[in-house]
Amino acid sequence: MLFLFALQVQAQIVTTNPAFPTADEEVTLIFDLTKAKDSRAKGLLGKTSDVYLWAGAGTTEEGQAFEYQPTGQTSWSAPFEPGRMTSLGNDKWQITLVPREYFGVPAGMPIRKLGLLLKNGNGTAQTEDIVIGIYEDELTVVFQRPEQNFFFAEAGSQIQIETASSEAAALRLLQDGVELKSVANGQSLSYTLTASQVRGSRHEVMIEATSGDEVATDAFEYFVEPEPRVAALPAGMQDGINYVDEDEVVLVLYAPHKEHVYVIGEFNGWQLSQGYLMNRTPDGERYWLRLAGLPAGQEVAYQYYVDGEIAVADPYTEKILDPNNDQYLTDANYPNLKPYPQGASGIVSILQTEQPAYTWKVTDFERPDVDQLVIYELLIRDFVETRNYKTLTDTLSYFKRLGINAIQLMPVMEFSGTESWGYNPIFYFAPDKAYGTEEDLKAFIDACHQNGIAVILDVVLNQADYEFPYVKLYWDGDKPSANSPYFNQEATHPFNVFFDFNHDSPATKALVQRVSSYWLEEYKVDGFRFDLSKGFTQNTTGNDVNAWSAYDADRVATWKRIYDEIRSTDETAYVILEHFADNREEKELANYGMLFWGNANYDFRQLGKGQNANPEWMAYTAREWEQPHVVGYLESHDEERFVYDLMQNGRSSGSYSTRNEVTALNRAKLAAAFALAIPGPKMIWQFGELGYDISIEENGRTGNKPILWSYQNDPERAKLYQVYAELIKLKTSQPVFGTESFNLDLDNIVKRITLTGEQMQVFLIGNFDVQQQSQNANFPGAGTWYDYFTGRELHVTNPHAVIVLQPGEFRLYTSQKLEEPVPNLLPWSHVVLSAEDVLSNGNTVKVYPNPAPAAVTVKVESTYRGIVQLHVLDITGRTVKRISLTKAQEVLQHQLPLQGMANGLYYLQVVAGDQRYVEKLVKMEK
């Protein structure tokens, strides 16, 4: 029935000559483009050339219509000459062909239908897909009017009937078996039928053609428009499924501007009947029905059939069955999935009374403080081979070793298809079955909480895909209808992909609140990252990104309302926005309590490649915010991968190249140190801690990416992972990393961060250049500092002493001794620090000649008396010569021989008690 309905409705655009085309005879297809419904067809109107047929043939009534395609029809963006159309004027076009020959369908293979559309040569304009029937070379009779084979009619209305047969025959028209009219010998019959007066009644109208021994029939059915009973919604009921008893539910559908709704499902054979006509509330906005006698504890499939036009699943269902996509699921995705019900069509919703409740092991989880939050963003599909929650749960030890305290899942609510990033949602209360069962998801969240890890959901409430029931229910050709209670007909901003929610609408407001409350309460998630939060506006800006990003008072009010609603459900839930708007707007919302994505990907990739940049926008103080509410990150799912960019586009100097894999991994350590040291919450994109070096564009931007757990076996990548772990440990365990007292010196290629806490100071300095740098260290103060990654003490008498840093080298110093990491995580063995010829208090050191061929004279002038040590170090920090002298007077002068040393650069370190001096020393024989 649905197939025939499609044929007849779509055939309005195209007529055929002859009226009953067959597979092996010539047929002329005539298109009237003024009747095309796809908005893209407007580009074809008014043309006199450059219109082409793009078509296919189907061999079964149920299968696809483009099963066979003509030879050479391969490039959508190029003209297909065999399909060149002939203009008839007035936007009418025709082409003549023999179906079997044109489509190359083998002899003996039936052709049941043709799939057709018209396009221009480069494919920028087109009609919708059109399907017409192909007939057997035998007696055939059809209804030409009405054009649908199932429809609703008003009681007592007139239904115009016209029939046609392929040859002269005796024709009889019948309704419910009673003859209405007959023709003794003819090829057509016309009749005006008066629809029944009985509301909600169903009637079959049939045309019968008889010629000799041949008999052919066609039929349509009509339902007389019902009159729903008006009844108030029972107390306590809300939209969606309301479970009343072990065998009873109350279904509620919010559907303003609709006339009537039936419930169809497994309980009534997917048939319309008066007993399943939903009650309408007095305000006309909702429909509801009490279903009793349901099988306790069993899943039952159902839909809503609305206004006799469309069947949709329940927008509030917690599980769907999808006939087009469930076939690709395996037991690894969703074991024991209920088979798709016979008799249904399209996506169906599931209800189940007496569902077993999940028993939570953790009911008092304490969420990490915002300033200590380290989030790990991941896409399940590209993180574990099985693509399911169970394996992800088994992987928690990996996260524990890394030390992160929150996992952010890319969207897991039901999305179109089974291969997706998830930003095309269609059901907001149903976890997508591609990743596992509802219980598996809860068990994952529970296990995370057992391990001290919060779970944040990426949610998409700026847009929805077509299969979302409230898109389909309020549809006008190729966009949402003007009376849609949820969606704008045209998006209000330039970054929309699917269909844009109207966040000023009361219906959308209620949906957002319901979605957020549901996931907080039912799944105990710890908060949300809202995709494209800047899109929550009704101030249309067209394609002007700057205007869209400007301060928007209405958007601010919207987000304050949503934040208050979330916090009324859960007073500590995280609310993270992907906003990227004017700082004035973000500052106001951040001070209100919201967190914001802080994208530093470009700056850090530039730094990684050896170009200077300033990532200070990752710091809330740079934005003049009151709270550390910038979730800073080097990478997210949206950005090019740091190590990949370095290895493809990084700078070099001499033998030092950022395109070398080991070098790139070491520079990833440098970037991580600075990103994680800036106070405030941070985020890591999956496998960034292992130096993932596959481009975001691999296999298409949103396509599957290689899952490279083998990286753990690479010693250099394992070191990067451990450096991340050490930095995260510091951030989550040492209060100084959440201090409000910090200084960022990030303008120059050698960068510094100073953190000052009540018990400890931290000083981080790093060289992002591809060349060695010698600069004033600018320690926060003199005294003993501890190199965190080596555990070595550094006695600083002059905070402004010159420090020599190799390209990519960084040093993280603490004023208190901390437990040392495992050794050799960093490639730099010894720091070189100089006081630029001054020990302290005006005392001096002279070294001459320099460069020198064989020996240098070292002259130390100071009040110091005691042992003076002279150390000569090569550029790797290895000591190649050591001399100990006794200084008994004001001046110590000693000749230091250089024999046996190769030509090149060295460092001379003079140690006099607790005072140190370092001088570059060049050995150069003539």
Tell me the mean pLDDT in the region 617-623. 97
User: Other C-beta atoms within 10 Å of 253: how many?
Assistant: 23
Number of helices (H), then strands (E), in the chain: 14, 54
Tell me the mean pLDDT in the region 228-244. 97
Q: Give the residue numbers spanning the domain of 213.
A: 141-224
Nearest Cα to 383, choosing from 401, 400, 397, 395? 395
Query: pLDDT-based confidence at 909, cuts 50/70/90?
Result: confident
Half-sphere exposure of 242 (CA within 13 A, CB side): 16
Nearest Cα to 692, choosing from 668, 728, 676? 668
Cα pseudo-dihedral 614, 619, 623, 625, rounded to 10: -170
Q: Which of 198, 224, 250 is the last residue of a domain?
A: 224
pLDDT value, residue 877: 67
Determine, yes or no, domain membership for 822: no
Q: Phi first, then psi: what are they for 313, rounded to 5°? A: -75, 165
Q: Phi first, then psi: what are they for 183, rounded to 5°? A: -130, 130
Q: Answer for the pair 825, 721: CB distance below 8 angstroms, yes or no.
A: no
Q: 418 and 465: one domain?
A: yes
The rounded distance, in Å, linking the Cα atoms of 120 and 80 is 10
Q: Parallel, antiparallel, or unpaired: how do β-strands 574-577 and 595-599 relate?
A: parallel
Half-sphere exposure of 616 (CA within 13 A, CB side): 16
846-892 pLDDT, tens digit each: 888 989 888 999 998 888 888 899 988 887 667 889 899 998 888 99
Q: 260 and 346: one domain?
A: yes
pLDDT value, residue 801: 86
Tell me the mean pLDDT in the region 603-616. 97
Q: Which of 224, 251, 279 is the last residue of a domain?
A: 224
Q: Coil, strand or helix: which one is 456?
A: strand
Nearest Cα to 792, choosing from 823, 764, 762, 766? 823
Determine, yes or no, domain membership for 739: no
Q: 428 and 348: one domain?
A: no
Q: Parallel, antiparallel, or unpaired: how do β-strands 761-767 and 425-431 relate?
A: unpaired
Determine, yes or no, domain membership for 746: no
* Residues whose CB falls within 8 Å of the CB of residue 873, separated by 6 or more in sequence, listed in order: 830, 832, 879, 880, 906, 907, 909
The rounded distance, in Å, linking the Cα atoms of 665 and 723 is 11
Say whether pLDDT at 833 is over 80.
no
Q: 254 and 210: one domain?
A: no
pLDDT value, residue 926: 64
Q: Parallel, antiparallel, or unpaired: how do β-strands 158-175 and 113-119 relate?
A: unpaired
∠ CA 610-701-430, rounded to 5°? 125
3-21 pLDDT, tens digit each: 333 333 344 799 999 989 9
User: Other C-beta atoms within 10 Å of 354: how many?
Assistant: 13
Q: Coil, strand or helix: which one is 847?
A: strand
Q: Coil, strand or helix: which one is 216?
A: strand
Q: 15 and 129: one domain?
A: yes
476-497 pLDDT, tens digit each: 988 999 999 999 999 999 998 9
Q: 533 and 549: one domain?
A: yes
Cα separations (Å) of 812 from 619, 634, 670, 730, 793? 19, 19, 10, 11, 12
Q: 539 and 687: one domain?
A: yes
Say whether pLDDT at 204 is over 90.
yes
Q: Which of 133, 152, 173 is the last residue of a domain?
A: 133
Determine, yes or no, domain membership for 580: yes
User: Other C-beta atoms within 10 Å of 757: how many?
Assistant: 18
64-95 pLDDT, tens digit each: 899 999 999 999 999 999 999 999 999 999 99
Give the count of domains, the chain.
Answer: 5
Instruction: Identify the CATH number of the domain in which residue 726 sits.
Output: 3.20.20.80
Q: 470 and 552: one domain?
A: yes
Query: pLDDT-based confidence at 914, cuts 50/70/90?
Result: low
Query: pLDDT-based confidence at 832, cuts 50/70/90?
Result: low
Determine, yes or no, domain membership for 247: yes
The rounded distance, in Å, linking the Cα atoms of 559 and 571 is 16
Determine, yes or no, domain membership for 680: yes
Say whether pLDDT at 837 is over 80.
no
Nearest Cα to 332, choosing from 440, 425, 408? 440
Determine, yes or no, domain membership for 749: no
Q: 561 and 677: one domain?
A: yes
What DSSP state is assigned to residue 15?
E
Q: 594 and 699: one domain?
A: yes
DSSP state string for 48-100: SS--EEEEEEESSSSS-TTSB--TTTT-TTS--GGGB-EEEETTEEEEEE-HH
The rounded distance, in Å, linking the Cα atoms of 880 and 473 is 81
pLDDT value, residue 38: 84
Say whether pLDDT at 840 is over 60.
no
Write out the E strands in 340-382.
348-352, 374-378
H/E element, 560: helix 553-569
pLDDT value, residue 843: 66
Tell me the mean pLDDT in the region 587-613. 97
Instruction: Identify the CATH number of the domain in which residue 872 sits.
Output: 2.60.40.1930
The rounded distance, in Å, linking the Cα atoms of 86 and 16 is 15
The rounded distance, in Å, linking the Cα atoms of 465 and 913 is 73
Determine, yes or no, domain membership for 444: yes
647-673 pLDDT, tens digit each: 999 999 999 999 999 999 999 999 999
The rounded distance, in Å, linking the Cα atoms of 394 and 415 is 25
3-state helix, strand, coil in the chain (%, to 5): 20, 35, 45
Tell me the mean pLDDT in the region 158-178. 95
| Mean of all residue pLDDT scores within the chain | 93
pLDDT value, residue 834: 61
pLDDT value, residue 836: 41
Q: 88 and 123: one domain?
A: yes
End-to-end CA distance of the chain: 99
Cα pseudo-dihedral 461, 464, 469, 472, rounded to 10: 140
User: Would you say the pTM of this structure is higher than 0.95?
Assistant: no
pLDDT value, residue 431: 97
Q: 446 and 383: one domain?
A: yes
The rounded distance, in Å, linking the Cα atoms of 258 and 278 is 12
Instruction: Identify the CATH number of the domain in which residue 308 sits.
Output: 2.60.40.10
735 vs 925: which has the higher pLDDT: 735
Write out the E strands in 675-799.
682-685, 742-745, 750-756, 761-767, 773-776, 783-787, 793-796
Q: Is the peptide bond before 228 cis (omega within 30 degrees of 0)?
A: no
Tell me the mean pLDDT in the region 128-152. 91
Query: pLDDT-based confidence at 275, cuts 50/70/90?
Result: very high
Say whether pLDDT at 830 is over 90.
no
The token pair that represents 213 in the structure block? 């021994």
Q: Phi first, then psi: what are they for 235, rounded to 5°? A: -60, 140
871 vs 507: which has the higher pLDDT: 507
Least confident span in 134-143, 371-380, 397-406: 134-143
Least confident span in 376-385, 434-443, 447-456, 829-838: 829-838
Query: pLDDT-based confidence at 1, cuts 50/70/90?
Result: very low
